[in-house]
């Protein structure tokens, strides 16, 4: 699971109002290279919850992202490269996503998060 996916997901258990961002429980993570496309990265910039991305990247040991951003930073290739790396190349292979409200764990196995809810959660 890349952090792009993490940035899009929340806990959707019935009644949960504050299911974002999901905490990361990391058992195994790796870096998987993805071809850089600056248009794609620029497009994603406005859609991303920045703080959630920074925190998630930190929990994977990547601390090169600035805490505060504005769109003028998109001029910098260096920034785009870092953003690209954090968004698309950091990969959670084994672990779990943890709901900030209920503590419910969504397992991540072989890089695929299981967001399906149990019968009593829908």
Partner 1 sequence: MWYLCVFFHRLLDYRKAEVEALAKLFGAFHGEEESFHSLEWKLPQHHHPDCPYHFVNLPSEQIASNIAKRSILVKGIYELWGEGGSYEELEEAIKSYPDDLKAPYMTSDSTFRIIVDSFGNSLTFQEQNERILKFAFIPFKGKVNLKKPDHKFWVMETDNSGSNNGLPPVAQKRIFFGREIGTADRKLLPTYQLKSRNYLGPTAMDAEMAFLMANQALAAPGKLVYDPFVGTGSILVAAAHFGAVTMGADIDIRVVRDGRGPDCNVWSNFKQYGLPMPVGLLRADNNLPPWRPGLKEMFDAIICDPPYGVRAGGRKSGGRKLLKGVVAPYTVPDDKRIGHIPSTAPYSLAECVHDLLDLAVQMLVMGGRLVFFYPVLSEDASSESSFPEHPCFSLLAVSEQILSFRYSRFLLTMVKTGSYTEEVAEEATKMHLDFKENHLKWLEEGNLHSAVFCPNDLQTDVVKESRSNSDPSRKYRGKYV
- Interface positions with partner 1 (CB under 8 A): 1-2, 4-5, 7-12, 19-21, 32, 34-35, 37, 39-40, 43-44, 47, 49, 88, 109-120, 122
Distance between CA atoms of residues 60 and 69, nearest Å: 20
Q: Report phi then psi at 9, rounded to 5.
A: -95, 150
Toward partner 1, which CB reaches closer, 43 or 76?
43
Distance between CA atoms of residues 26 and 61, nearest Å: 11
* Bridge partner list, 25: 96
Residue with tokens 């990265």: 41
Closest separation in Å from C-beta 79 to partner 1: 18
Toward partner 1, which CB reaches closer, 27 or 112?
112
Toward partner 1, which CB reaches closer, 26 or 117?
117
Closest separation in Å from C-beta 119 to partner 1: 5
* Other beta carbons less than 10 A from residue 95's beta carbon: 22
């Amino acid at each position: 699971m890349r952090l792009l996916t993490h940035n899009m997901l929340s806990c959707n258990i019935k009644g949960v109002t504050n299911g974002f961002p999901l905490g990361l429980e990391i058992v195994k993570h790796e870096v998987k290279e993805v071809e850089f496309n600056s248009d794609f990265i620029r497009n994603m910039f406005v859609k991303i919850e920045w703080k959630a991305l920074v925190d998630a990247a930190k929990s994977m040991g990547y601390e090169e992202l600035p805490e505060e951003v504005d769109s003028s930073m998109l001029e910098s290739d260096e920034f785009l490269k870092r953003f690209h790396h954090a968004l698309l190349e950091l990969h959670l292979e084994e672990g779990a996503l943890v709901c900030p409200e209920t503590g419910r764990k969504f397992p991540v196995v072989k890089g695929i998060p299981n967001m399906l809810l149990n019968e009593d959660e829908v």
